[in-house]
Structures are given as structure tokens and as C-alpha cells.
Structure 1
Amino acid sequence: MLSEMDDRDDIKSSISTVLPDLPESILNIVEETLQSLGVGTIDDFQFVQEADLLCVLRPIQARKLVASWKQTSQGPGTQSQPDVNSSTSSSLLTSSTSSRSSLSPCPSPRNLLNADWVDHFEIPTERFPEALMQCLERGKRPIPSLRREMIRIVAAEMMKACPSPTKHASTEIAKKLVGKYPQSLKDVIEGDVVGTGYHSLVKQLQARIDNKKRHATPRIHKRKSLSNSDTDEVPAVMKASVQDTYGCVKWDMKFMPVTETLESQNEKKGKMRFLWEQATFNPDEVKELMESTYYSQRKAINNGTALQTLREEWPFLFHEIGISAHYQELTGLPLTQTFLKSVGKKGKQLLNFMATVCANKTRRVFETLTKLRFQRGQLEGCSDDVKDMLLLLLSYFNEDEATMFHYTEETNQAADVQVDCLPVTPCIIVCGASCYSANRFMLSIDGKIVNDNIAQFIAAINVMFGSYYCLNIHYPVQLRSTLEFLQRCFFNINPERGTKVEMKKTKKQLTCSASSLWTLR
């Protein structure tokens, strides 16, 4: 048994040595094919012919393998067979292979075939409208109707090559499109590439393919549960794990830093609690303490420690200085600096787009814009631009402002706020009649005030957004598009797959329709 396992390992190793870039799935198929031919040890490689491998490998790959194996078998220390024996063996093997092929066909490597059609796929530019080609060749952005026509043509061509293209295929072809016409198709705002640069194309291609498949695909019937525990639902723990880790680079630390011990972690935690109670502290010292105790903070959060306990043990975690330090360790990005830099690059153009294009197309956005201009009056500044931006995004996506902002009296303290009206997700409490007139903000999580004194609106936005990541909180469905747009466009977190949106089985999930915003220049 051990000898057979060793032989299998040797066979696989011999293949991967010659073709190191071969995917694991294809490697396994090649191994199975060789075994079906009768290859039991590496000594049998000398009898394998190129034709035997063409059903699973490309011609060049097959030639490389055969040439390498022949060279090895003819090397010093290996007795080469006489011509007659070699010829006889070859003819016998060919005959045996032919008869075996008629009885039991060579394995069908679907993964390889799928990969092949994508690799050889040609963009059908000859079918593109003349107006579209003029835009692409001149490096201009096509108007939405031409872009949609391009998506329809490319998706139809993809489905000719493969009836059911995967998201991976859409991604690869979107890369080709953007690579060929970057000036016209790349996701860019103010010269700054948004995410991968082809995210909106992938979503449009996949949406078109899904729509076309919907008419041809029979309805899938869910299997019946065999017991109470056997259901079609993904366990809550698994769903939380996927959504919690979304966009994070250091979500779970398996080991404590070598410079730290449990005692040193507890000592630093106690020191931060002392500094918090003193109400006077050095921000740099707190930042350093937060960074060095990140391991303990993540363990407490990921283990599901109650919110009140977290507030008592890690009070800085709910304030800008602490949440910024934790967020940077978690995502690899500075919270406030990333947001301000993105606002500086993209904010004005986004506001201009809302005021000119969206307001003319959508009555809801027009009414919101008129209301905000009245509330803002003559105020000028970056903070007020951000207020415009947030409130207009909520209107554009038709999402619930009350889930993000709760308004209370200007003089109200934390104890005066009606917590029964607060959502469970992070919410900014505005102490004033509007975001423009307010000089103080609070943050609530799980219907409890966790920070009762935030002086700046931008700080409130950063603390609110950072809380979703640092505390493993999912985006509520009522804010899914606004928060995802902020995440990708202004906080520069752009995972290629997954979501941080709370999934509700009873309600249809709509995708973030921000592609028209992402493709602005």
C-alpha cells in the first residue's frame, strides 16, 4: 500500500516538475489518465506517447512531458531497450490504448475545456456598432446605451463558446476588454482606478448571462429535509465567517506576537483603562498600546464578547483614535487618511454628477438636492461636501436615511436619546435639526450609545464605518448599496468576491447599482 502511494506521488511529482504552472485539478486528471493507460511507476513513462495525452493537455504541454520522460529514460544509468522491443512495446501499447479507448473513454477534463475557451476567446469587435468602435479606438467613454450593447454582444459570444460561463470566465474576459481599451472601459474616478478597474464590467457581463440563462434553465427544486438538522441553509457560523472576514487582511491572529505574553497584554489593557478614566492621554501612546494589544482585541471580538463587556475592557475601541488603530491592523488601510484622500479626488465630481445627471433623471434626487441646498445655506467646506455626498447617495440608492442617521435635540445628552428608536447596526446620532446645523454627534451600536461626543461629521462617518469591520457587523439590507459604494469608492476596500451585506432569505437581494458612478471620469 505504501509502495503504491509512493509511486503515485512520484508520478504526480514528475508531471509538476515539467509543468509547474499546471492547475491542481488538471494535474489530477493527467494522473488519472496515465493510470488508465497502465502507467504504474515512473519507469513506464518511456512508453507514453504524445497522442495519449492530447485528451487532457495542450499539444505543447504533451510534447514537453513526453520529451522530458524520454530524455530521462535514455540518461546514464538507464539501459535503453533494443529497437525491436521498443517497437513491439510501442505497438502493443498503442493497440491496448486504442481498445481501451473504445471501451472506456479518456476522462473528460471539463475544467481544462472551460479554461481553454476563455484563453482563446476573441473579443467580437467586428460586431460592435460603428459608434462604439469610434469611442473605443479614440479612448473615449461610450455612452451607457453603447456600453450595454457591447455587453449584450460579448455575453452572447461567450455563451456560444460555453452555454453557462462562470464568474471566473466573466472576470477574465472583462480583464481582456479593459486591457484592450483601458481609457474607455476602466473603472476610474478623477484618474484614480476604482478597485480592480474591471469590477463593473464583470457585474454587467454576469448579470446579462444570468438573465439569458434564466429563460433556458429549468427551475431547480430544493431537496426535502430528511431531518430537522438537515436543511438547505448555510449554518449561521459559516455565513458569519464569510461576511466577517470580507475585506480583512488580519481578521484572526492564531499566535500572539513573540514580543508579547498574556501578562503583558493584560497589563497594557489595564493601562488603557486607567488612561481612559483619567480623560487626559497622549494619542500616540494610546495608538501604540492599541496596536500592541490587537491580538487580544481580535480574540475578544471574534469570540463573541458582549458589547457592554467590550466597552468596559476596551473603551478606546469605540472612539476614533482606537478604532482607527484597530481598523488599520485589520484591513491594512488607514481609516481617516484613506477616506479624506478619496473625498479630495472624487468628492467634487460625484457631487457634480448627482446635481447634473441624477437630479435631472430622478425626481427623488432632485427633491433631496433642493432640500439640502436650503439646509446648507451659505456653508462651505469639506465637511459639508461630505454631508451632501452621503445624503445624496442615500437618495440615489433609495435607501433608508433613518438607519444611518437619527436626529435628536441639540442639547440632548446620551441619557436623553430615545434608544428604542435606534437600529441595531451602527448609527450616527445627529444633535441638531440637520447634519449641517449640528455641532456634535454620537454613535450607537445595538441600540446603545457607545460614543456620546464626536465633534466632527467626518469623524462620525469614519467611526461608524470602522465599527462594521472592527466589530464584525454586517451591512443592513436598508443601507447595502450606500455602504458598499463607500467601501469600494472611498475606503478602497475592493474584494473580488463575497459581500458584507446581511443576507435575508425572505427578501430578494438587489446588487449595488453603482456602475454608472464608478465609470465616471
Structure 2
Amino acid sequence: MMDIMANAVDFQTQLTSIMEMLAKTAIVEIGKLFEENSSLLRSEISRCTNQIESLRQKCHFLESELQTARRTAGKMNGTDAALSHSGLTDTGHRPAIDNVFGKEWCLNLWKHEESNVGQQEDQHLSSAVIIAEPVNLLDEEPDMVMIKEETFEDSSSDKTEEDQNKSLRGAVQEEIKRILPELDLNTLQNMINHLTFVVGVEKIEDLSLVEVTDLQDFLEPIQCRKLVKTFKQRDFFQEFNGQEDGTTNEITLTPISSTESLPEQPFISYYPANSDWVRSFQVPWDRMPAALVQATSNGERARPGPRREFVRIVVAAMQVLCPNPNLAACGEVARHIVSTYPQTFGDISEEGEQLGNGFSCLQRQLKTRVEHVNRDILEHRIRRPRRPTIKRSGHQDSSTMKKVRCKVDSYGCINWQPSAIPDGETPHSLEMKRKVAAEIFQSAGPRAAELPNVDDLMQQTYVYQRHMINSCPPPTISEIEVHWPFLFTERGLCRHFKTLTGIDIRSRFSETFISKAKRILNYFHSQKLKWNGEIQSLLNEIDDDTTASNNNKTAISAILLMMNYFKEKDNALFILADETSTKMSIENELTLPATPRLIMLGDTLLTSSKWFISIEGRVTHSIDNQMDFTAALSVFFGCFYVFNIEYEESASATLELIQRFFVRINPEGTKCTSKSGTSRRTGSAVQRKSQNFNPRVATFLQRLSEFEWKTSN
């Protein structure tokens, strides 16, 4: 009995010591865990404190600026803008998004819809004084300072001003078309937007200050001189201002909106003074190779050999009339050939869709042949030298200061900025639905994007979203995220992209991305010895790597190969981060650029299995772990369109390939309008030529098609 009791005591003693050891170990581990997490928490608190202090100072500054502006405007009207402490009612109050008071995109939306709201809103909008309700961000005192705004004109005066702007814009457009009847609609629209956003034309009188250098990116020299000469004539402004005494009206010249259409007119090609021969040039169809004759009769694609032979024949016929045809003349000849046999000579994708203007590849082939024939004939190669481009200091400053998303960019979009709110909606109801969607996100998080009612709310407020994103100057990504948080989820962004472009990008990527990526891999693998050392080493790395999942590896490999082929650095699109990185650690430890980047989490880019997207130096989208690389790439590419961001010059070729080959968006022009670039041969900065279709992308697609035709036969 005593032995049993002694054993029980020993057991209890051992158990107690074990429990004490476990407790101590647990306390130590808990302490370590707390220290690790508390350091992150302290850094986040410090960062938030700095942001709050910065916002506090900004609010102080904005309040002082606002009060000064009110006093100045009040003195100009003969009365002082008073400060009021009284409360506000909903009567006469225009709906405004919190903390975005005075934003031009918001005011324009309400102003645009005032005449369409209906009789039930007239009593609110006809009030002589409209009061806005600012938010006091500086303290939490119950008595908030209210600032009475200046008297707005009634809806009739707003309508009158809008009519004046439209009348002025229409008059300028008609005058330009009268002077230059051959000018196409897209060039006219782009030129007026350039005059407004870049040059800084604000009133009709400012046109007299426009120089030839401001128009030379859009027009030929003679066209520029005609316009500038007309702009400088005094009668021109008197005619549009309707005044005989020479005084001017303060009428603002507004840019052409993408939603406004110009009257249709027949296309009239423009031929430079030294290219009149193009009008009388006849394509030598009778000398076309037999293989091409058969292809044109059957509506088939021209094979590489007969096509090159026909190019030589056409160039020889052109040089009889002009020894050294310029690119524009080659373009006119190519346009005529493609319009006659579009299926045989046109730039058409394998899905039957036109690429760009449809004749860029043939134009480039004709011009290349011209330069090859004239390579040893100096007198044929000499042309009148171009006049040096002289940029005014003001013009240079405005170009440098222009934000990346400030440009009107409806490239490839079918619903870029709706002109009217949906039927049955009012500005106030749209604002209420925006707040409901934001509250749902705040309470349920990103997964609430799967709810059907959220889809309905985002679809109904689409016009509201576009007016904010397309405003100039544009809101920051942080502002957009605060007011439209569901745009920063995979589902929300892809649905917005579909409404914007008419393309379901997730479906399109999932259908064809892997199969087209395999075609690219086969193209490079089958000609491995043909490529430079960088592509060969990447191909070896792809072959040696067996850890990545098959589809992810195929998709990533295809994009990396294309970037090497175009001589673009992978860090222009991708950023490699540690596999255990979080959103907070990435923002704290990495220097993120302003333009979008796809952050790849893994040991190498090929083995990455989790992805983030960053814009304007912060992580904006987190791709769910259950999704693959194609889902991450679809969200990344969609950001350029949804948030109105131009392609970065250092990755423009790869992005345009994704756009045209994978997503199949094929408008004319390019989404990269940078005027400067980097030479692939020397690495130095060079002037970038404006292009309708990136020649490197066009060349690759043509070579891929020719390679597959040869290997299949």
C-alpha cells in the first residue's frame, strides 16, 4: 500500500514538472509570436500615424484655400461669403461623395443630368443658393463648421453655357474640316484633345497662339501652316464670337468626348505635294504570280514566297513614277491592295478579325523593299531634311507634369463613358447605391463580390464609376478604392472590363491562352539555335524546371519568351517576391513603381504560385490561391483598361501582343503614346515614332503564321 502511494506521489511530481515545462515553453513561444507580430503592428501604426498627420496638414491647407476662394468670389459678386454654423436639410443638397468635394468628375455628372432628372427634382435644383456639406476631418466636435457655397446659376443658364460650348466646338470642327476636307475623323478628334489637354487651349482666343510645332504630330507641314494662318486671322475669332467690335467672349473650348460622334463624311485620302503620282498609280495585277491569282480567287491567305514576289513587282512599278516613295505613299498603295483583296493581303487574325487598320504589314513590306533597292543609290535616298522640332518651355512643362491616367483614352473600348444615367435612376439614387456597395464590402469583405446583389449594384452604377475614373485630373487609385472597393476584386474588375470592352476576359483567357502559349513555346523550341543567348538560356531553364505546375509554367514561359524576343526587361511587368510575403510586407520592403506590376511570389518567376498586383506604389489586388496565372494575368491586363492607364514604353510590345493575340482587341493605333523610348541596339534615349500597329508585334505574328504554315506542310 505504501509503495502504491509513493508511486502516485512520484507520478504527480513528474506530471507537475512536465506541466511546468510545457507552460514555460508555451509562454516563451507566445512571447516570440507576440514580438514578431507587435513589430509589424508598431510599424503599421507608425505609418498610419504619419499618414494621418499628413492628411491633417492637407486639410488645414485646403480649408484655408477654400475660405480664401470664397471670400474672393464673394467680393467679386458684391457680397462676402459667410460662414454658417446652422444645420442643413436635404432640400437643395446635391449628392456628393464624402471627401471628394469639388471634384470635377462629380460636378460634371450632376451638371450633365440636371435637365434629365425630371420635374420632381426641379424644386431642389432651382434654388438660388446651394449648400454643400463638408466633412470635418480635424476633430470630432459635434458643432461642425458649414461653408456656404457661392450662388450657382440655374439649370437654364447651365444649359445655355453647355450649348455655347457645343456650338463653339462644332464651329471649330467645321472650320477645320472646311480648311482640311481630307482630314479623317480620328485625327480631328485626337488633335482637338491634344490642343486642350497638352497645349492648354482654354478659350477660342488661345487658338491664335497655336504654333506649327503643336500640330505637327497630327498633320503634314502644309496642313499645319494652313490652320495656323487661319487661326491668326482676326476675322476668324469675330465670326465665332458673333462680335463686330473685336471684343471676345469668355467661352471655353472643351475637348471632344469619346461618346460624342462627328457627322459621317466620305474618306478622302491625303497625298503630299511630292506624292501626286499615287493618284494615277495602277497596281500591276496582270503580273501577279499564279499562286497569288489562285489565292485571290479562292479568298485564301497569300503564302510568304508569292507575297514577297508580288511586293517586288509592285515596288518596281512604283519606282517608275517615284524613285523613293515615302511611307505614306506605300501606305496608300497598300490600302488599295488590301481593299481589293482583304482576305489575301490584309492583316487578319486566325479568328478572322482585322488587326489595326488592316494594311500595316503590307505597307511595311513595301517600304522595306524600297529601302533595300535604294541602299546603294544615294540620289534616290536623299530627301529634304526635316525641320528640327522646337518645343516651347511651357509645352515641355505641361507634358512632363501630365499624369499617366489624365489622357482621354477610349482605345479599344465600346462603352468608355456613357452619356446618360440609366432609366429610372437619379444622381441621388446612384450615390445611395454606391454607399450601399461600399458598406457591404466593409462588412463582408472581398468575398461579397460573389453576391448577386453586388453585381447588380456595380452594373447600375457603371456610369458613375466611369465619370470618376475618366475625370481629368484623375483621382488616385486610393480614392477609387475607397469609393468603389469591388473594382479591386477579381470578379468586380473583370465584370467592369466586360461592360467597358464587350469582352469576357476570364473566359477568353481560359479558352485559348494555354493553347496559344504552347504555340509560342513550340515556335521558339523548334528554332532554338536561331535565337540569342538570353532566349536560349531561358529555354534551357524552362526545360530543366519540373517543379511548376504545367499550365502555369506554360503561360509564364510564353510571356517571358516574348519579353526576351522584344528585348524588354521582365521587371517592366513582373516583380519577384518571397513566397511568404504579405501585402503589408511587400509595400514596406519593396519599391513599387507607379505603373502596374504583377508581383510573383516564389523562388523564381517560373515557379511562382501566388500573385499580387500593384498600381501607383501600393498593392491593389490579391489573387485568390485557388486561381491560376491566367486569372492573375487577366486582372493585371484589365487594370490598364478599367483604370485608363497607358502601356509603359518599356513593355509596350509585350502588352500589345497580349492585347491583339490573346485578348483579341484590335483597334487602330496603340495604347502607348510615349514620345520617347530606348533604342534596342544602342540603349540610348531616342524619339519614338507614332505607329498604327507596333511593327515588332506585327512581324512576330507574321513569322509565327509563316512558321506554322511551313511546319504543317
Aligned equivalent of 1:318, options 474, 488, 501: 488
Q: Deviations over 1:376-399 (max 9, x none)?
A: 457433x43211211111111111
Q: CA separation in 2, counterparts of 1:361 and 1:125?
A: 38
Q: CA separation in 1, counterparts of 2:390 and 2:350?
A: 52
Q: Could you tell me which residue of structure 2 aligns to residue 514 of structure 1?
A: 697
Q: Could you tell me which residue of structure 2 aligns to residue 260 of structure 1?
A: 425
Partner SS for 1:195: coil
Residue 157 of structure 1 deviates from its aligned partner by 3.6
Q: Deviations over 1:51-99 (max 9, x none)?
A: xxxxxxxxxxxxxxxxxxxxxxxxxxxxxxxxxxxxxxxxxxxxxxxxx
Indicate if the aligned counterparts of 1:405 and 1:428 stay in contact, CA closer than 8 A. Answer: yes
Partner SS for 2:664: coil
Q: Could you tell me which residue of structure 2 aligns to residue 426 of structure 1?
A: 596
Q: Could you tell me which residue of structure 1 aligns to residue 558 of structure 2?
A: 389
* Cα pair distance change 1:292/1:359, threshold 3 Å: farther
Matched, 1:333 2:503: yes
Indicate if the aligned counterparts of 1:251 and 1:330 stay in contact, CA closer than 8 A. Answer: yes
TM-score normalised over the length of structure 2: 0.50
Superposition pairs for residues 69-108 of structure 1, below 5 Å?
A: none
Matched, 1:350 2:515: no
Matched, 1:295 2:478: no
Q: Could you tell me which residue of structure 1 aligns to residue 234 of structure 2?
A: none
Q: Deviations over 1:491-520 (max 9, x none)?
A: 111112344343327534374412343231
* Cα pair distance change 1:483/1:308, threshold 3 Å: same
Deviates more, 1:251-260 or 1:262-271: 251-260
Residue 466 of structure 1 deviates from its aligned partner by 0.8
Superposition pairs for residues 117-516 of structure 1, below 5 Å?
A: 121-124=281-284, 142-143=303-304, 147=307, 150-155=310-315, 157-158=317-318, 160=320, 167=328, 170=331, 173-174=334-335, 176-177=337-338, 180=341, 182=343, 185-187=345-347, 192-193=352-353, 195=355, 198-205=359-366, 215-222=381-388, 228-229=393-394, 244-277=409-442, 278-279=444-445, 280-281=447-448, 282-303=450-471, 304-343=474-513, 346-357=516-527, 360-377=530-547, 379-381=549-551, 383-417=552-586, 420-455=590-625, 456-504=628-676, 506-509=685-688, 511-516=694-699
Counting matched residue pairs gives: 414
Superposition pairs for residues 10-25 of structure 1, below 5 Å?
A: 25=181
Given residue 154 of structure 1, which amino acid in structure 2 is its aligned partner?
V
Indicate if the aligned counterparts of 2:331 and 2:360 stay in contact, CA closer than 8 A. Answer: no
Given residue 386 of structure 2, which amino acid in structure 1 is its aligned partner?
I
Q: CA separation in 2, counterparts of 1:230 and 1:189?
A: 40
Q: Could you tell me which residue of structure 2 aligns to residue 12 of structure 1?
A: none
* Cα pair distance change 1:230/1:187, threshold 3 Å: closer
* Cα pair distance change 1:472/1:191, threshold 3 Å: closer
* Cα pair distance change 1:153/1:325, threshold 3 Å: same
* Cα pair distance change 1:472/1:388, threshold 3 Å: same
Q: CA separation in 2, counterparts of 1:214 and 1:433?
A: 56
* Cα pair distance change 1:465/1:296, threshold 3 Å: same
What's the % identity of the aligned pairs?
24
Partner SS for 2:621: strand
Q: Deviations over 1:8-55 (max 9, x none)?
A: xxxxxxxxxxxxxxxx9389xxxxxxxxxxxxxxxxxxxxxxxxxxxx
Indicate if the aligned counterparts of 1:327 and 1:334 stay in contact, CA closer than 8 A. Answer: yes
Deviates more, 1:153-162 or 1:442-451: 153-162
Q: CA separation in 2, counterparts of 1:113 and 1:430?
A: 50
Q: CA separation in 2, counterparts of 1:261 and 1:168?
A: 52
Q: CA separation in 1, counterparts of 2:451 and 2:369?
A: 51
* Cα pair distance change 1:312/1:248, threshold 3 Å: same
Higher relative contact order (CA 8 A, sep 6+): 1
Q: Deviations over 1:425-484 (max 9, x none)?
A: 111111111344333110001121112344321111111111111112111111111011
Residue 129 of structure 1 deviates from its aligned partner by 7.5
Residue 167 of structure 1 deviates from its aligned partner by 4.5
Partner SS for 1:406: strand
Residue 327 of structure 1 deviates from its aligned partner by 1.4
Residue 133 of structure 1 deviates from its aligned partner by 8.0
Q: Deviations over 1:213-256 (max 9, x none)?
A: 9933222223656x644679979769977672222222233332
Q: CA separation in 2, counterparts of 1:350 and 1:389?
A: 6
Q: CA separation in 2, counterparts of 1:348 and 1:205?
A: 32
Indicate if the aligned counterparts of 1:244 and 1:472 stay in contact, CA closer than 8 A. Answer: yes
Partner SS for 1:495: coil
Partner SS for 1:507: strand
Indicate if the aligned counterparts of 2:553 and 2:607 stay in contact, CA closer than 8 A. Answer: no
Partner SS for 1:450: strand
Deviates more, 1:200-209 or 1:303-312: 200-209
Given residue 411 of structure 1, which amino acid in structure 2 is its aligned partner?
T
Residue 158 of structure 1 deviates from its aligned partner by 4.1
Q: CA separation in 2, counterparts of 1:376 and 1:190?
A: 32
Indicate if the aligned counterparts of 1:419 and 1:448 stay in contact, CA closer than 8 A. Answer: no
Deviates more, 1:434-443 or 1:337-346: 337-346
* Cα pair distance change 1:153/1:242, threshold 3 Å: farther
* Cα pair distance change 1:402/1:312, threshold 3 Å: same
Deviates more, 1:276-285 or 1:234-243: 234-243
Q: CA separation in 1, counterparts of 2:589 and 2:458?
A: 29
TM-score normalised over the length of structure 1: 0.67
Indicate if the aligned counterparts of 2:611 and 2:632 stay in contact, CA closer than 8 A. Answer: yes
* Cα pair distance change 1:508/1:224, threshold 3 Å: closer
Indicate if the aligned counterparts of 1:319 and 1:451 stay in contact, CA closer than 8 A. Answer: yes
Q: Deviations over 1:174-202 (max 9, x none)?
A: 5625854845x454665654626544224
Partner SS for 2:654: helix
Indicate if the aligned counterparts of 1:413 and 1:452 stay in contact, CA closer than 8 A. Answer: no
Deviates more, 1:351-360 or 1:292-301: 351-360
Q: Deviations over 1:343-390 (max 9, x none)?
A: 266333222112213663333222211112222457433x43211211
RMSD of aligned alpha carbons: 4.1
* Cα pair distance change 1:181/1:316, threshold 3 Å: closer
Indicate if the aligned counterparts of 2:301 and 2:343 stay in contact, CA closer than 8 A. Answer: no
* Cα pair distance change 1:421/1:153, threshold 3 Å: farther
Q: CA separation in 1, counterparts of 2:368 and 2:409?
A: 25
* 5+ long unaligned stretches in structure 2: 1-179, 184-267, 678-684
* Cα pair distance change 1:204/1:338, threshold 3 Å: farther
Given residue 314 of structure 2, which amino acid in structure 1 is its aligned partner?
V
* Cα pair distance change 1:26/1:502, threshold 3 Å: closer
Indicate if the aligned counterparts of 1:194 and 1:488 stay in contact, CA closer than 8 A. Answer: no
Q: CA separation in 1, counterparts of 2:595 and 2:670?
A: 20
